[in-house]
Structure 1
Amino acid sequence: MKKTQIIVDVELDENHVPEKMTWHATDGGIDHQETKAAMISVWDDKEKEALRIDLWTKEMPMDDMKRFYHQIFISMANSYQRATSEDEVAGAIIEFAENFAHQAGIKSHK
């Protein structure tokens, strides 16, 4: 059986606030690439709940954070559709994402 790792290194300031983050995924061709935000979710099968780590650096611009969330919503819709084949629900998530983008001011109405 093959094993692989995804590593996120986080440098903290004196108040334990992330100042710098890099990630490394050998199988994905990522070698200590700098990032300003990361969200990691895992499923706890025993408790039937999602466990999450949400991190962002002090330097993460607000507009970039809004775009990050918008893209995560779209990605969630795509993953949900692939996992369940429920096109209608996936479409509702995309509709929510687009509404979010308009309300957050990162996408104008057409």
Structure 2
Amino acid sequence: MSTISTIKIQVGLDDQKVPESIAWSATDNKDEKMIKAKGMIVSFWDPAEKAALRIDLWTKDMMVDEMADFFFQTMMTMADTYGRATPYKDQADELRAFAKDFFKKFQDKQAAEGQ
């Protein structure tokens, strides 16, 4: 018998329908409490359409440095997943290298702007 886990996502919107808050929970988390977040990237693979379906949201108080770190960590996780799921470790390494270069360029821009 298989187990089913349910993931809940709550997005609070302002009057302009811009996200003000994001929280999520999962039934396989012992507390099942809502966990606050400032951003999310959810992707589903539609095999019939052979297309990725995505939900990308971030709150209006998410700072640019948080967004850069979020993207860096997401790309590193994608590289890890791709490395485990395929025999193409070289491409996983290329994605990691790209993510590191992406984040370094962001840091350089922030330093140049004096932030």
Matched residue type, 1:33: I
TM-score (norm 2): 0.87
Partner of 1:34: 36
RMSD: 1.5
Q: Give me the whole-angstrom Cα distance separating, in 1, the residues matched to 2:27 and 2:5.
A: 8
Residue 25 (structure 1) aligned with residue 31 (structure 2) = no
Q: CA deviation at 1:13?
A: 0.5
Partner of 1:11: 12
Partner of 2:55: 53
Unaligned ranges ≥5, structure 1: none
Partner of 1:2: 3
Q: Give me the whole-angstrom Cα distance separating, in 2, the residues matched to 1:28 and 1:96.
A: 33
After superposing on structure 2, the runs of 4+ consecutive aligned residues of structure 1 that deviate more than 4 Å are none
Q: Give me the whole-angstrom Cα distance separating, in 1, the residues matched to 2:3 and 2:26.
A: 14
Unaligned ranges ≥5, structure 2: none
Partner of 1:67: 69
TM-score (norm 1): 0.91
Q: Give the total of aligned pairs.
A: 107
- Stretch moving more, 21-30 or 54-63: 21-30
